């Protein structure tokens, strides 16, 4: 199989905004666990076990953390391309008949990216996205930033797009995906635990290398407050998969278009699940259709708003 090239390339939705055939209802699982650095075989073995558990619980799609298979340590894992890991991830998806979102290191034409792949039930890699917003010196020194937005791909009657970690902390990123037609954003992430404790500011935990300097920003606010807000203001679902504690913030979540956390993890290793249904999205847009009322921002917003004003909530 020749995988689609990265940087947001994939199967694009129809220009009329219509959805693929499907139920418009998915059971989405999110894995919260920490991958061991430079131990891809062990991490893949663990991921396969978690995927089997999610499948047994009826999940249609499993979302996993950022660089889980390699282990999150940019300076230590960036030199090894994740192609063999992606091959095994495709095998896991096809063996279970369950879709899978996973993040790997990608080497392409002399550049190195943090990527996320969306594997269909048969193992086909529907799309691969390269992280646009790199976090801190550790990532910026080890990787190149992606230059293209994520593709929107249909799956089970729902339009899905990918993002990675720091991307979702930018309102413009989520808004652009929503305007492009995304109804579910899948976000592998590696948010470190920062709660004013300088001992946790370490490169291996996703910190910025300023060890010994307490950071007043509590990163637990990202999954507990920022992610539900992005879902609310863009009226879509977000499945957000973080690494577990103690070095990471945990609190992985699945948020709905009303800004509710349908499922939320604590800080330990967990598998959470929730139903993603288009009927909920339509209800949210019928209640307060933020996208239909866009009058400023990207030019792409205006056709979207016009379509909604003429056809009603989609």
Q: Is the alpha carbon torsion for 297, 113, 86, 68 positive or negative?
A: negative
CA distance 72 to 34: 8
For residue 253, the model assigns a pLDDT of 98
CA distance 236 to 258: 8
pLDDT digits (tens, 9 = 90+) for 146-181: 999 999 999 999 999 999 999 999 999 999 999 999
**DSSP code of 120?**
-
CA distance 86 to 244: 22
pLDDT digits (tens, 9 = 90+) for 217-275: 899 999 999 999 999 999 999 999 999 999 999 999 999 999 999 999 999 999 999 99
* pTM (two decimals): 0.84
Binned at pLDDT 50, 70 and 90, residue 29 comes out as very high
The residues near 68 (Cβ < 8 Å, ≥ 6 apart) are 31, 33, 34, 35, 43, 47, 102, 103, 188, 243
For residue 289, the model assigns a pLDDT of 86
What are the Cα distances from residue 146, in Å, to 10, 45, 166, 238? 15, 29, 13, 21
Q: Is residue 19's pLDDT more than 50?
A: no
CB atoms within 10 A of CB 266: 13
What are the Cα distances from residue 239, in Å, to 32, 210, 218, 292, 308? 11, 30, 21, 23, 25
For the chain, give the mean pLDDT. 86
């Amino acid at each position: 199989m020749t995988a689609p090239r990265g940087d947001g390339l994939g199967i694009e939705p129809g220009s009329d905004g219509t959805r693929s055939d499907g139920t418009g209802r998915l059971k989405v699982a999110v894995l919260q666990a920490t991958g061991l650095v430079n131990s891809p075989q062990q991490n893949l073995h663990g991921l396969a076990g978690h995927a089997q558990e999610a499948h047994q619980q009826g999940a249609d799609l499993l979302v996993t953390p950022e660089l889980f298979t390699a282990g999150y340590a940019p300076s230590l894992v960036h030199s090894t391309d994740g192609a063999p890991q992606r091959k095994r991830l495709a095998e896991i998806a096809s063996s279970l008949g369950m879709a899978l979102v996973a993040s790997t290191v990608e080497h392409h034409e002399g550049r190195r990216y943090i990527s996320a792949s969306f594997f269909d039930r048969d193992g086909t890699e529907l799309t691969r996205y390269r992280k646009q917003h790199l976090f801190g010196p550790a990532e910026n020194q080890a990787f190149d930033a992606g230059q293209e937005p994520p593709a929107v791909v249909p799956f089970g009657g729902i339009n899905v797009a990918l993002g990675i970690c720091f991307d979702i902390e930018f309102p413009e990123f989520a808004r652009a995906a929503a305007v492009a037609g995304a109804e579910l954003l899948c976000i592998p992430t590696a948010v470190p635990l920062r709660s004013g404790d300088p001992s946790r500011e370490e490169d291996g935990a996703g910190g910025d290398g300023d060890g010994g300097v307490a950071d007043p920003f509590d990163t637990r606010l990202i999954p507990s407050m920022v992610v539900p807000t992005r879902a609310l203001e863009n009226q879509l679902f977000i499945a957000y998969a973080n690494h577990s504690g103690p070095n990471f913030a945990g609190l992985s979540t699945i948020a709905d278009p009303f800004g509710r956390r349908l499922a939320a993890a604590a800080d330990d290793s967990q598998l959470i699940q929730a139903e993603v249904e288009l009927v909920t999205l339509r209800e949210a847009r019928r209640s307060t259709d933020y996208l239909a009322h866009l009058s400023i921002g990207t030019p792409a917003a205006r056709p979207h708003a016009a379509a909604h004003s003429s056809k009603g909530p989609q």
